[in-house]
Amino acid sequence: MRRAERVLILMSGFCLSLTGAASFAFAVDPGVDIAAPRVAITTADGATLRFVPANVVVEQGDYVRWNWTAGMHTTTSGVPCVADMLWSSPLNATTTQFTRQFLEVPSVRRFFCSPHCTLGMTGQVTVSDVIQLTVTDAGGATQLAWAGGGGLYRVFRSDSPLFGTSTVLTAAGGTNQTSFLDQTGGSPAMGRAFFYLVMNQF
């Protein structure tokens, strides 16, 4: 399933799924300027010799970008300190960032800095399955429900499928909820649409 199929539309009382020809072909950073995919950022901190954050959760198809601040580092895949050859890139004054798309099945991919691995400069990328979202009318409000993902979520509403301007919605029970009742958006004007998106929280 392509990532664009997760974006659902509420238009004049109907729920439509973007399927088939719908596609978001490129990523932006950071965060939610476009529906999918997204770029999660982690930094190789030269002062603390740590990746910040060390643990990143993304959906299948998202990207992770490692940024450099100071020193000589790498991002190298594998269990500390043994490379598994999925990726390895220097992070230094010449190569200040490295970005990789995670198309693997849901799994945990560990990584480390080769020069500083024994000092604890390690991290992991958890690749979750793609979040499946349903949108229904609930008597004038919009009911969202979803499954999948990494367990912590952000919910967005926009009047554009590219999510250039979006509203962040927060479930009353917190970021670990799997449903949300949107009572603030009202009904879109005739001929207009609301687009809803649920993603792993970075």
Q: What is the pLDDT of residue 31?
A: 52
Q: What is the pLDDT of residue 181?
A: 93
Mean pLDDT of the chain: 84
Nearest Cα neighbor of 103 from 123, 79, 125, 72 is 125
* pLDDT of residue 158 exceeding 50: yes
Q: What is the pLDDT of residue 106?
A: 96
Q: How confident is the model at residue 56 (pLDDT cuts 50, 70, 90)?
A: very high
What six digits make up the tokens of 59?
């959906």
Count Cβ atoms below 10 Å from residue 47 Cβ, excluding itself. 8
Q: What is the pLDDT of residue 21?
A: 28
Please say whether the dihedral angle defined by the alpha carbons of residues 17, 125, 52 and 76, taken in this order, is positive or negative: negative
Helices (H), 42-131: none
Domains, the chain: 3-26+129-200 (2.60.40), 39-128 (2.60.40.420)
What six digits make up the tokens of 91?
């992070």
Tell me the average pLDDT across 59-75. Answer: 95
